[in-house]
Structure 1
Amino acid sequence: MTAIESAQTTDATAPAPDADPEAVLARVLQIANDGAICTLGSLGHELGLFDTLAGLPPVTSAQLADAAGFQERWVREWLGGMVTAGFVEYVPADRTYYLCPDHAPFLTGRTPDNLARMMRYNALWGQVQPKVVRAFREGGGLTYDDYPGFHAIQAEESASVNDSSLVSTIMPVAGVEDRLRAGIDVADVGCGEGHAINLLARAYPASRFWGFDFSPDAIAIARAEAEEWGLTNATFVVCDVASPIAEPASYDLVTAFDTIHDQAHPATVLANAREALRPDGTFLVVDIKSSSNLEENLDLPWASFLYATSLFHCMAVSLGQGGEGLGTVWGVQTAERMLHDAGFSDVVVHDLEEDPFNAYFVARP
């Protein structure tokens, strides 16, 4: 069972409106405790403590600290939180610790099942909460500069899926792998650190790839990876994708990986993508899978996480640019409508078993 399948089969429903007050109190206390576990888990992932612990036999706090290169007193307190969370087992007789074997797949490694990386978002939201409070009172939003390290966190998360599925599964879903092998022109809007484009450029050397993003820091990382890999068919450009990215009909394939919903002007970006496509081109949009109707998200186990992510980042940065504040949970229905409004006559939505968080929209003129 994967991490996501496990989450989907867990009963995480809230108490009924007429529930026993003690049940409500217990749930609220559990949420507060789980929030603390999330913070500790984020720290364990960022410091590599889960991965270090997974590679060791039962160890003392001093031995783990020595192996990880950290101060023992800090490591010991973190271990206390992880033991009481049930992530780590403690043997009192010899004061040793080991990572629970059933937890290890979901807390370590570079696979999509490692959900510890998601916990880092919550830690980042805590950093910006005072600015979000101000926005509630005064309006407006935040800027990308308010989120130190955000691109790195997002890049790590998306790479876990793209490394395993982009070439083998996602491109076949888009129906363009034969054309990519033959050689076509490809653009990625909102490319971030460009890992997806570099993966494609390495896999399809006959094709030509361009990545567009308005973050100079992210583009610099994308260019460095392309250079490290010796790619000559990947080009990265600093620009706002709300402006036309090229002359009309310049590309055979345009992609947008988890970026449309936090654009200041998403309808404009979609229209620009349609304009940039050749008549027989394909637009692949990968974005959050949810409903546009709140009542249809009640059974989604991570729905509250999505709304929090929207409020603390995606909606916030859109509003901060004077944008529409579409938000993370814009939903499949709104996405389909906006793609049609942008001039795409053929829109098909695909689901991937290995990526239940996202919907895959394949749109053609």
Structure 2
Amino acid sequence: MTQLNETVLNELVGRVLGDLGGAVSVPLVRIGDALGLYAALKRIGPATAEELAEASACAPRYVREWLSAQTASGYVHYERGKFSLTPEQAFVFAEPDSPVNLIGAFDTAAAMVENQAKVQSAFKTGRGVAWGDQAGCMFCAVARLFRPGYVNALVQEWLPALDGVVDRLEAGAKVADVGCGHGLSTILMAQAFPKSRFTGYDFHPASIAAATAHARAHAVTNVRFEVGRAQDFAGQDFDLVTCFDCLHDMGDPAEAAAHIRRALKDGGTWMVVEPMAGDTLEDNINPVGRLYYSASTMICVPTSLAQETGLALGAQAGEKRLAEVIRSGGFTRVRRAAESPLNMVLEAT
């Protein structure tokens, strides 16, 4: 019989128990968000369970148990019979524009669980799971997951980090946002640079419909959305092409790179925003790598394998591999222009 190291075993069990606590918190966090419990607690706290139930029009017994679970998770503060959100807790759970609002990550985790049967089957066949066949509203969850980063860094930090791009956008540039999803990134840029013209492309028709509705709701008139694949979208002579968290999902990113190079005018720039990653597994054994490898297994690799050549770069491809793909399309210069804890921003010319 194999001799067990009790210390190592206990550390592993403790880690797994912590993970299970996080896993079973997923539906509770989503309930708190959907029913406005976090928002109400931020507004009225400190409050008793009964007071929060009244403020949110929910049943007190459920609210009391929910608050107890949230307190045990460290997501809600409890003191002298009343519950509240600390400023830090509110920043994560109750402020939609916070750079560390993580509600979208819980939505994505729920969609990944719902998607298990399809991905599990693909393990045996080697085939992919198309983006349009993902379970639940994966598209909504992913859009919400990335939104805080885009809202807080895209216009303020990432675009200014590119050589001369902001000046062109302020003067009036032609921009393609390829793989735009629900159009959050496209609309943020269009709002910030009203003299420029933006076209968002995505191969998923339902996402293009959502993006169009989003632009209409925000009365943004210098943007439009079209169904189009990265390797053959319409349009030429772009000053800037952007790809946000999508290059690694593409079936043929090398052909996408070549088409984007052809679509850019001379002197144009390609901005590639990708998940933060080192170039080796050893570099990515950390909390961010853990999240991205898991999401990559359940979302990114299946999506890529369902397309064309199915290169399946994965969400942790790393800068070296990404730069190789970008250069294969005819780009001669690739540099890391900016980064955040969750993303790297590459500039290709």
Same fold per TM (> 0.5)?
yes
Aligned partner of 1:40 in structure 2 is 28
Does the residue aligned with 1:291 lie in a helix, a strand or coil?
A: coil
- Report the residue type matching 2:250 in the other structure: Q
| Alpha-carbon distance in structure 2 between the residues aligned to 1:86 and 1:188 | 39
Matching residue's letter, 1:360: V
Find 2:316's aligned residue among 329, 342, 347.
Answer: 329
Query: CA 1:207–1:291 in structure 2 vs 1: closer, same or farther (change >3 Å)?
Result: same
SS of equivalent to 1:325: coil
Matched residue, 1:208 = 197
- The question of 1:310 aligning with 2:296 is answered yes
Moved over 6 A (4+): none
The offset of 1:19, in angstroms, is 4.9
CA–CA separation in structure 1 for the residues paired with 2:102 and 2:252: 31
Count of residues in Structure 1 that have an aligned counterpart in Structure 2: 341
Q: 1:15-26, aligned counterparts within 5 Å?
A: 19-26=7-14
SS of 1:324 mapped into structure 2: coil
CA distance in 1, matches of 2:302, 2:265: 34
Shift of 1:138: 2.8
Counterpart AA for 1:148: G
- Residues 80 and 223 of structure 1: is their aligned pair in 2 closer, same or farther, counting only changes over 3 Å? same
Tell me the residue number matched to 2:185: 196
The answer on 1:177 being equivalent to 2:163 is no
Match of 2:83 in 1: 97
Cα distance between partner residues in 1 of 2:191 and 2:100: 25
- 1:136-183 C-alpha deviation (Å, 9 max, x unpaired): 223312222323222222222333222233222222112311111111
- Pairing 1:30–2:30 present: no
Measure, in 2, the Cα distance between the counterparts of 1:257 and 1:173: 15
Distance 2:130 2:106 in 1: 21
Amino acid at match of 2:290: S
What residue in structure 1 maps to residue 101 of structure 2? 114
Return closer, same or farther for 1:99/1:233 CA change in 2, 3 Å cut-off: closer
1:133 to 95, 116, 120: 120
Cα distance in structure 1, aligned partners of 2:56 and 2:205: 33
Aligned-residue offset at 1:276? 0.5
Q: 2:135 maps to what in 1?
A: 147
1:296 is matched with which residue?
283
Residues 1:292 and 1:60: Cα distance change in structure 2 (over 3 Å): same
Structure 1 residues 85 and 288: alpha-carbon distance in aligned structure 2, compared to 1, 3 A threshold:
same
Q: In the alignment, is residue 263 of structure 1 matched against residue 238 of structure 2?
A: no
- Shift of residue 78 of structure 1? 1.9
What does the per-residue CA deviation read over 1:204-248, in whole Å, with 9 as the maximum and x for residues that have no partner? 22221111012222222222232333333212101222324334x
Residues in 2 aligned to 1:81 and 1:51: alpha-carbon distance in whole angstroms: 17
Aligned-residue offset at 1:255: 0.5
Give, in angstroms, the shift of residue 18 of structure 1.
9.1
3-state SS in 1 of match to 2:341: strand
Letter in 2 for 1:114: N
The answer to whether the 8 Å contact 2:45/2:85 transfers is no
Q: What is the aligned counterpart of 1:186 among 157, 163, 175?
A: 175
Aligned residue identity for 2:141:
I
Code of the aligned partner of 1:347: V
Does the 8 Å contact 2:252/2:307 carry over to 1?
A: no
> Distance in 2 between the 1:40 and 1:335 partners?
37
Match status 1:242 vs 2:227: no
Gaps of 5+ in 1: 1-16
- Which is worse superposed, 106-115 or 227-236? 227-236
1:324-344 alpha-carbon deviations (Å, 9 max, x no partner): 222111111111111111111
8 Å Cα contact 2:273/2:344 also seen in 1: yes
CA displacement 1:108-145 (0-9 Å, x = unmatched): 20211222332222111111112222222233122223
- Alpha-carbon separation, structure 1, partners of 2:250 and 2:62: 40
Q: Tell which deviates more after alignment, 31-40 or 80-89.
A: 31-40
For residue 302 of structure 1, give the secondary structure of its aligned residue in structure 2: helix
Check conservation: 2:162, 2:337, Cα contact below 8 A: no
Matches of 1:215 and 1:316, distance apart in 2 = 15
1:101 shift after superposition: 4.3
The counterpart of 2:59, out of the listed 71, 75, 85, is: 71
- Secondary structure of the residue aligned to 1:349 is strand
Whether the 8 Å contact between 2:71 and 2:78 is mirrored in structure 1 is yes
CA change 1:220–1:347 in 2 (3 A) is same
Deviation at 1:187, TM superposition (A): 0.6
For 2:218 and 2:15, the matched residues in 1 are separated by 49
CA distance in 1, matches of 2:62, 2:130: 33
Comparing 204-213 with 222-231, which one deviates more in the overlay? 222-231
- Distance of aligned partners of 1:28 and 1:231 in 2 relative to their CA distance in 1, 3 Å threshold: closer
Cα RMSD, aligned residues only: 2.2
List per-residue Cα deviations over 1:184-206 (Å, max 9, x = no partner).
Answer: 21111001111222222222222
| Residue 287 (structure 1) aligned with residue 279 (structure 2) | no
Residues 1:360 and 2:345 aligned together: yes
